[in-house]
């Protein structure tokens, strides 16, 4: 009798718990479906007042239609597009990506083959580092409309991130044949860069800049990328010139200000670099600015500030990743970034854990192979690092950081000839790399 009552009570508790879970799930889904995502204020950019006003006007018009007409597709596509652009302008990707995915999903629920919604959802997945899912959706979008340049750009990005570099080149060729513009030229530039052709990359990026409207965020982002290419070949005057032009056309542009910080670092003007990074960090949410600040604090003996900032970065990226696990629609994979953060703090076991997690998602990508190799190098497992270098170097990239890491690993792994060639190449290029890495390169060469 007692057992029967026990079973009955256990069963009742189970039913109640299951019911609670179902109700909670339905409430969560209802909250997502009714959630309202207003535009966030842009930080400290008064010159963009007219631009912000126009964006807000478009948003108000679209959200009014979307709220009053649940069947309107055009307003939902417009909202998703606005949110995606605001994510770029502000760096608030987690917020705006969640906002955009809400309306994209509403469209796809009504029209599963809607091209724009499929393309946007693919772009959002790439933004959140769900590269395989994003690439699959881009392929699906291409089936719906194989004559649209935008989707080929997403296919380029997705294939690059998955390490399918040959396919990325094919998609870029198709993209530029459909529409030779800033987006297609910039992707050609990047593909040339990762295949070691810096002169060709600079030429294509110049074409991309010329194809854009001066002052537009996308144009000035492209101009900053051109400046960074010049940094990688040691032409700091041309790099700085592009950052100054970007700031002339778009005052207060955070990424151009960060470029000025890197120029300051190159001349060892650390106070200037810190001031620029702090300014950039106050304008846009971008972890890379804080990473660079932590490095300068470390370099200048401000250990407490460096430690505090690195801890903040790890906590923030871990929180983003955890939030992603709790959202079925979208969530940010941050394992490669966390691996690099843990390397900076000397926690190499945690660094390896995250590096391998990302490697398992895309083992053909050169960047994550470099990251895994660098983690093993810092752990002192030089032999384990070597196999990853074969993949990291498969495109014959001349990226100075990659060459530096590879040369240092070869030096410890026993191939002194390769090590000397690569490390000397970094020094000869005059590339603007971090002071700590340059110091390691110089020391490594002296020991060979």
- Long-range contacts of residues 229-233, Cβ cutoff 8 Å, at least 24 apart: 229/189, 229/193, 229/198, 229/201, 229/202, 229/205, 230/202, 231/259, 231/262, 231/266, 231/431, 231/432, 232/198, 232/398, 232/399, 232/400, 232/429, 232/431, 232/432, 233/198, 233/202, 233/429, 233/430, 233/431
Can you name the CATH fold of 180-269?
Answer: 1.25.40
Percent of the chain whose predicted confidence (pLDDT) is above 90: 84
Position 414 scores a pLDDT of: 81
Average per-residue pLDDT in the chain?
A: 91
Among 216, 218, 209, residue whose Cα is nearest residue 241:
209
The C-alpha angle 106, 110, 115, rounded to 5 degrees, equals 85
Crossing angle for the helix pair 382-392 and 366-379, to the nearest 10 degrees: 160
Listed by start position, the domains of the chain span 180-269
Position 36 scores a pLDDT of: 83
- Let me know: does 339 contact 358? Beta carbons within 8 Å: yes
CA distance 282 to 44: 8
Position 320 scores a pLDDT of: 75
Position 43 scores a pLDDT of: 79
Residue 7 has pLDDT above 90, yes or no: no
CA distance 371 to 87: 27
Mean pLDDT score, 156-182 = 98
Q: What is the pLDDT of residues 63-81, one digit of tens each?
A: 999 999 999 999 999 999 9
Inter-CA distances, 91 with 96, 100, 171, 283, 444, Å: 9, 14, 27, 9, 37
Position 287 scores a pLDDT of: 94
- Let me know: does 202 contact 226? Beta carbons within 8 Å: yes
**pLDDT category, 424, cuts 50, 70, 90?**
very high
Tracing tokens 């998602």 back to the chain, one arrives at 361
Mean pLDDT score, 404-418 = 94
SS3 64: helix
Position 18 scores a pLDDT of: 45
Tracing tokens 């854009």 back to the chain, one arrives at 212
Q: What is the pLDDT of residues 330-372, one digit of tens each?
A: 678 899 999 999 999 999 999 999 999 999 999 999 999 999 9
* Phi, psi for residue 386 in degrees, rounded to 5: -60, -45
Position 22 scores a pLDDT of: 40
Residue 129 has pLDDT above 60, yes or no: yes
Give me 33's structure tokens: 């479906």
DSSP state for residue 92 in the 8-state scheme: -
**pLDDT category, 328, cuts 50, 70, 90?**
low
Position 13 scores a pLDDT of: 52
Mean pLDDT score, 96-106 = 96
Which of 94-108, 204-218, 269-283, 314-328 is predicted with the least confidence, judged by mean pLDDT?
314-328
Position 331 scores a pLDDT of: 74
Tracing tokens 């505090």 back to the chain, one arrives at 308
Helices (H), 300-399: 303-325, 335-345, 348-361, 366-379, 382-392
Mean pLDDT score, 369-393 = 97
Position 329 scores a pLDDT of: 63
CA distance 174 to 121: 21
Position 21 scores a pLDDT of: 43
Inter-CA distances, 200 with 196, 297, 410, 437, Å: 9, 36, 28, 26
Q: What is the pTM of this model?
A: 0.89
Mean pLDDT score, 132-147 = 98
**pLDDT category, 107, cuts 50, 70, 90?**
very high
Position 360 scores a pLDDT of: 97
Position 319 scores a pLDDT of: 86
Percent of the chain whose predicted confidence (pLDDT) is above 70: 90
């Amino acid at each position: 009798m007692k057992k029967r009552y026990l079973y009955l009570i256990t069963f009742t508790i189970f039913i109640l718990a299951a019911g609670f879970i179902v109700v909670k799930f339905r409430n969560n889904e209802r909250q997502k479906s009714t959630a309202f995502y207003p535009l966030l204020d842009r930080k400290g950019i008064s010159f963009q007042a007219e631009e912000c006003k126009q964006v807000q006007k478009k948003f108000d018009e679209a959200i009014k239609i979307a709220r009053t007409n649940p069947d309107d597709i055009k307003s939902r596509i417009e909202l998703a597009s606005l949110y995606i652009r605001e994510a770029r302008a502000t760096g608030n990707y987690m917020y705006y990506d969640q906002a955009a995915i809400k309306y994209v999903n509403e469209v796809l629920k009504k029209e599963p083959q809607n091209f724009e919604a499929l393309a946007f959802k693919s772009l959002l997945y790439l933004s959140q580092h769900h590269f395989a899912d994003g690439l699959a959706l881009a392929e699906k979008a291409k089936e719906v409309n194989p004559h649209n340049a935008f989707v080929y750009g997403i296919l380029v990005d997705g294939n690059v991130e998955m390490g399918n570099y040959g396919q990325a080149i094919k998609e870029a060729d198709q993209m530029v044949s459909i529409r030779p513009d800033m987006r297609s030229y910039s992707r050609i530039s990047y593909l040339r860069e990762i295949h070691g052709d810096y002169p060709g990359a600079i030429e294509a990026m110049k074409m991309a800049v010329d194809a854009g409207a001066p002052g537009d965020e996308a144009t000035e982002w492209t101009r900053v990328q051109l400046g960074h290419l010049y940094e990688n070949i040691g032409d700091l005057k041309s790099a700085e010139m592009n950052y100054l032009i970007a700031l002339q056309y778009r005052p207060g542009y955070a990424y151009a200000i960060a470029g000025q910080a890197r120029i300051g670092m190159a001349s060892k003007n650390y106070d200037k670099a810190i001031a620029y990074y702090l300014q950039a960090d106050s304008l846009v949410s971008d972890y890379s600015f804080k990473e660079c600040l932590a490095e300068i604090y470390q370099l200048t003996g401000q250990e407490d500030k460096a430690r505090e900032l690195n801890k903040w970065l790890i906590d923030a990226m871990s929180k983003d990743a955890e939030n992603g696990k709790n959202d079925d629609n979208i969530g940010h994979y941050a394992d490669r970034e966390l691996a690099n953060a843990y390397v900076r703090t000397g926690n190499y076991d945690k660094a390896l854990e995250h590096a391998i997690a990302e490697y398992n998602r895309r083992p053909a990508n050169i960047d994550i192979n470099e990251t895994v190799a660098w983690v093993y190098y810092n752990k002192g497992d030089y032999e384990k690092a070597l196999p990853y270098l074969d993949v990291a170097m498969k495109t014959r990239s001349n990226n100075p950081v990659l060459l530096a890491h590879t040369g240092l690993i070869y030096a410890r792994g026993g191939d002194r000839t390769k090590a000397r060639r690569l490390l000397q190449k970094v020094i000869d290029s005059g590339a603007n790399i971090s002071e700590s890495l340059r110091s390691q390169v110089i020391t490594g060469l002296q020991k060979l």
